[in-house]
Amino acid sequence: MQTTSLSQFNIPSPPPKTTILHRKTTSSRRLSPIFAVASTTAPPSRHQVTHSMPPEKIEIFKSLESWVSENILPLRKPVEKCWQPIEFLPDPSQGPDVFVEEVRALRQRVLGLSDEYLVMLVGNMLTEDALPTYQTFINTFDGVRDETASSPCPWAIWTRAWSAEENRHGDLLRTYLYLSGRVDMLMVEKTLQYSIGAGSDVGAENNAYMGFVYIISRASNISNTGNMARLAIKDGDPVLARICGTIAADEKRHENAYTRIIEKLLEVDPNTTMQAIASMMRKRITMPLHLMYDGQDPNLFEHFSAIFQKQDVYTSRHYAEILEFFITRWELEKLEGLTEEAKRAQDFVCQLPRKIRRLEYRAKKLESRQVKFSWIFNKSLSV
Ligand SMILES: [Fe+2]
């Protein structure tokens, strides 16, 4: 899963089955409408438990199993052809002298990275490392879940392979950050434990249509990793740039799989799929780590998201561009023969990028302020 920032946009959202329990904080009112959820130690679930997909829809996913075998499973990369984290890290098997020299070189390279960059990299690493939350999430989807944790169902085979590939991302970034010596690993590790413990609730209603829409919107975070790679080059760490680029390539392949799934669902069941896309957009796509906490800052998620915006690494503009990409790729504007409800969903989704751009244009320039980040030894950054 990709790092940070999909966001929450202030799009008018009718919450028919959802009970949204936003906590208001002074700081959340100060930030732009884009990233705004507070975090706590033991947050309540935001949505009521619902299974909104009727049983006949489960049959659709069953009928697609052979299609998954032929069109999605080939997007897995064989383990023997996959990169592994150690290939980008100092290698202890080369003997102590070489290892120490490689660590020294790494620590030298990261000296040019800004504190803002480090906060974003920690945020990305934590988002990758919260993989148990995402695998749990996918296995809530009716019709595609892994019933045994080793199910031979093609949907489940894909989910496990995806998780196994994704698992390398967090491992690599975490070890790199650890060796850098520039972040407070104790606070980073605490944040991870809090975050996995809190889980995530994005309101997908155990519904595979809505769940896959959520995942694809998350996979779009590739632009974030690409921007992180560019900044790493600028700040003098080409190895870190290569790491970001390599992770982005994995994410692109994964995005391709989920894009194909939505494409297929639009083909076999356009009305339900179109409504699922609109429904998740209306709920404002929530970041998987929206409940993150480090034991200190109850607004950690919004603070680190603000850094992404301020650094222009991931903003509402990027999100609008991603939506436009998918609208074009899935030819949503050209879908015909939809029910009235699905047509309304189509209009909503197709007009959304324009609304987001308009909101961005109108967004008030907020006064910046200093916020301490525990991950970088409580140094203050402007958000
Ligand atoms: Fe990832």
Q: For residues 71 and 319, is the Cβ–Cβ distance under 8 A?
A: no
Across residues 270-276, what is the average pLDDT?
Answer: 97
CA of 168 to the centre of ligand 1 (A): 8
Supply the pLDDT for residue 219.
60
Q: Give residue 276 CA to ligand 1 midpoint distance, Å.
A: 24
Exposure class string for 291-324: b at 16+ Cβ within 10 A, else e: bbbbeebbbbbbbbbbbbbebebbbbbbbbebbb
Section 147-161 average pLDDT: 97
Distance 301 CA to ligand 1 centre (A): 18
How many Å lie between the centroid of ligand 1 and the Cα of residue 55?
32
User: How far does residue 164's CA lie from ligand 1's centre (Å)?
Assistant: 10
CA distances from 198 to 40, 249, 303 (A): 9, 29, 18
Assigned token pair, 160? 């496990």
Secondary-structure class of domain 26-43+84-382 per CATH:
mainly alpha
Q: Which tokens in the block code for residue 126?
A: 């934590």
Q: Which tens digits make up the pLDDT trace of 19-63?
A: 333 333 333 333 333 333 333 344 445 567 889 999 999 999 999
Radius of gyration of the chain (CA): 21
Is-above-0.75 flag for pTM? yes
2 alpha carbon – ligand 1 mean position (Å): 4
Beta bridge partners of 381: 371
In this predicted model, what pLDDT tens digit does every residue of 52-97 receive, in sequence order? 999 999 999 999 999 999 999 999 999 999 999 999 999 999 999 9
CA 137 to ligand 1 centroid distance, Å: 15
pLDDT tens digits for range 328-345: 999 999 999 999 999 999
| Sequence-ordered list of residues with C-beta below 8 angstroms from that of 214, at least 6 positions apart, any chain | 202, 204, 280, 285
Neighbours of ion ligand 1 (CB under 5 A): 1, 128, 166, 169
Q: How far is the CA of 219 from the centre of ligand 1 (A)?
A: 8
